[in-house]
Amino acid sequence: MFIEIDFNSDEAIYIQLCNQIIMGIATEQLKVGDPLPSVRQLADTIGINMHTVNKAYSVLRQEGFLTIDRRRGAMISIDGDKMRALEEMKRELVVVLARGCCKNISKEEVHALIDEIYEEYK
């Protein structure tokens, strides 16, 4: 698994890490049952604090993307609650679409962009 962190970004490192893992799942680079490196291993590999990795893993566990077991460590495990996922997606999209509307981005442009991005996950 290749993780790329932008240390100059305004986005928190733990959020970047979460997003990279979610992208890995979406693009099937990571599959259900795949183990993730230990907190210490990943922190050392990326060059970040262990607490940052721990926070990312905790967020991903809460969001239903992984399970954490003391003996086996962190593993990809997708929560199958589609309704909850749709509600979360809606909450996030409301703001993103509002920003686009303020910038005069049309509904057609949004649809084309979504289709373009979604093709990467098939």
In the CATH hierarchy, which top-level class contains the domain 13-76?
mainly alpha
For the segment 45-54, the average pLDDT, to the nearest whole number, is 96
Residue spans per domain, the chain: 13-76, 82-119
* pTM for the model: 0.77
Task: List C-alpha distances in Å: 69 to 58, 65, 86.
Answer: 12, 14, 27
Model confidence over 5-35: pLDDT tens digits? 999 999 999 999 999 999 999 888 999 999 9
pLDDT at 1: 67
| Positive/negative CA dihedral, 81, 38, 40, 27 | negative
Model confidence over 60-105: pLDDT tens digits? 999 989 999 888 899 999 877 877 888 889 999 999 999 999 999 9
